[in-house]
Amino acid sequence: MTTETKKSYLAWTLRIIVAALFIVSALAKLSKGHLLDSPYFAISTFEVKQLYPLGFSEGFAPYFSRTLIGIELALGLLLLQNNWLRKFIVPVTTLLLLVFIGHLSYVTFLSGGNTGNCGCFGELIPMTPIQAILKNIVAVGLLGYLYYLLPKKEKNGNFWILTTVLFATILGIYMLAPIQPPASNFTVSSPADTTTDTISTTQIDTTKTAPTVIAKDTLKKVETIVKPENNEPEKHKSGYTQYFANIDKGRKTLCFFVPGCDHCRQAAKELTELKKANKNFPEISIIFMNEEADLIPDFFKEAGAEYPYKIIEVIPFWKVLGNGKDTPGVKYLWNGNELKYYFGITENKFDPVDYQKLINKPYSDFKK
């Protein structure tokens, strides 16, 4: 085997490796659990978790995300053809990787550490910023070596092939995940207003306070009013009354679930078990993401009970859930005051043992 043949085989190996990275990265951003299983959900999640924190507006983010994914996919495909490869494709691909490295380094610096999912492979393959930086540095090294291996004299080729592939991939992404107009009202018609809590039998009244005690000082002949200790927090607007009118009255358990999410279903089952054991359990209400909403009946069947719920669209759901938060989300509200927020599946995940202790605590213990 001649030296030129060896170089050609090695160059093709490098091209396939880097092309695979770009193609998988693009398709992963359109996938939830399996490739291309839920493009709109996946790309909306990418926008909220990766682009919004960088300052992208709600109007611009959907166009930027789809165009970026289209460019990623195009570069992956164009690395496997020979038109303008050394003069244009390899340098542009390297430049894009360097931009990614700079972005990830900035994100890591802002977060003060190596936490969270960088979004390089969407939710399909979670990867920390440091891991992604290292991956991109290796890819830049491979492209640099590929640039060295490729013949210095190459034909210019047909530039129309490049533009055709680029526009076809970008258009394909827009077709797979069409941009939806922003909803003026986030709520969606549902049985929420008529669905009742099938477990609840009684509800405690947290609005009553102890009677005022009047003590007389026989020496000073002065009446002193001894105020009882406040047994509940002052009323506060939680911001969720547009979903549940009585959410700010008394003690409530507000959940943020995705119907097809296994972790959400597990949290719902744990809440049901707690509620069965405690007749004074804070009333449960659920805000569902409008993703696989047809699975809600099955969700309640697995949870072991039905609860009042509302359904909202994907992007509004992520906003209501909170920046940097993930599902399942469980909030303990008392008169609209947030006393505890569990979210995600890591260190802040829902803990039924901790929640059982929490809801049995008097309000005075929260003020310490």
What is the full DSSP assignment across 48-83? Answer: IIIIGGGT--TTTHHHHHHHHHHHHHHHHHHTTS-T
The residue that leads in pLDDT, 120 or 196, is 120
pLDDT tens, 18-27? 999 999 999 9
- Burial of 26-51, coded b for 16+ CB within 10 Å and e otherwise, reads bbbbbbbeeeeebbbbbbbbbbbbbb
Cα distances (Å, whole numbers) of residue 356 to 10, 70, 250, 282, 360: 61, 48, 17, 11, 7
Identify the CA nearest to 343 among candidates 364, 320, 315.
320
* Residue 206, pLDDT above cutoff 90: no
pLDDT tens, 140-173? 999 999 999 998 887 767 889 999 999 999 999 9
Strands 329-334 and 251-257: antiparallel
Radius of gyration of the chain (CA): 28
Q: Within a 10 A sphere around the Cβ of 121, how many other Cβ atoms?
A: 20
> Which residue is it, tokens 């092309």?
19
The residue that leads in pLDDT, 214 or 341, is 341
* Residue 32, pLDDT above cutoff 80: no
pLDDT at 153 (0 to 100): 80
Per-residue H/E/C for 136-199? HHHHHHHHHHHHHHCCCCCCCCCHHHHHHHHHHHHHHHHHHCCCCCCCCCCEECCHHHCCCCCC
| Mean per-residue pLDDT, 29-51 | 79
For CA atoms 355, 361, 362, 363, give the dihedral sign.
negative
pLDDT tens, 325-358? 889 999 999 999 999 999 988 889 999 999 999 9
Report the percentage of the chain scoring pLDDT > 70. Answer: 80
The tokens describing 181, both together, are 């107009």
Sheet of 251-257, strands arranged across: 187-188, 309-312, 283-289, 251-257, 329-334, 337-343
Least confident of 128-132, 269-273, 303-307: 128-132
* Residue 199, pLDDT above cutoff 70: no
pLDDT at 257 (0 to 100): 96
pLDDT at 193 (0 to 100): 39
Least confident of 100-109, 193-202, 357-366: 193-202
* Residue 289, pLDDT above cutoff 90: yes
pLDDT at 157 (0 to 100): 78
The verdict on whether omega for the bond into residue 308 sits within 30 degrees of 0, i.e. cis, is no
Mean pLDDT score of the chain, rounded to an integer? Answer: 82
pLDDT at 54 (0 to 100): 74
Beta bridge partners of 87: none
The residue that leads in pLDDT, 32 or 129, is 129
Q: Categorize the per-residue pLDDT at 48 as very low, low, confident or very high, splitting at 50, 70 and 90.
A: confident
- DSSP structural state of residue 88: I
In angstroms, the CA 349 to CA 124 distance is 20
Residues 6+ apart with CB under 8 A from 33: 123, 124
pLDDT tens, 222-272? 343 334 446 788 889 998 999 999 999 999 999 999 998 899 999 999 999
pLDDT at 221 (0 to 100): 41
* Residue 219, pLDDT above cutoff 90: no
Q: Categorize the per-residue pLDDT at 275 as very low, low, confident or very high, splitting at 50, 70 and 90.
A: very high
Residues 6+ apart with CB under 8 A from 150: 11, 85, 86, 90
pLDDT tens, 1-12? 688 888 889 999
| Mean per-residue pLDDT, 183-191 | 40
- Helix (H) or strand (E) holding 18, with range, is helix 3-28
pLDDT at 56 (0 to 100): 84
pTM here?
A: 0.70
pLDDT at 36 (0 to 100): 65
Identify each DSSP E strand in the chain by its residue range. Answer: 187-188, 213-217, 222-226, 251-257, 283-289, 309-312, 329-334, 337-343
Residues 6+ apart with CB under 8 A from 290: 188, 311, 312, 313, 314, 317
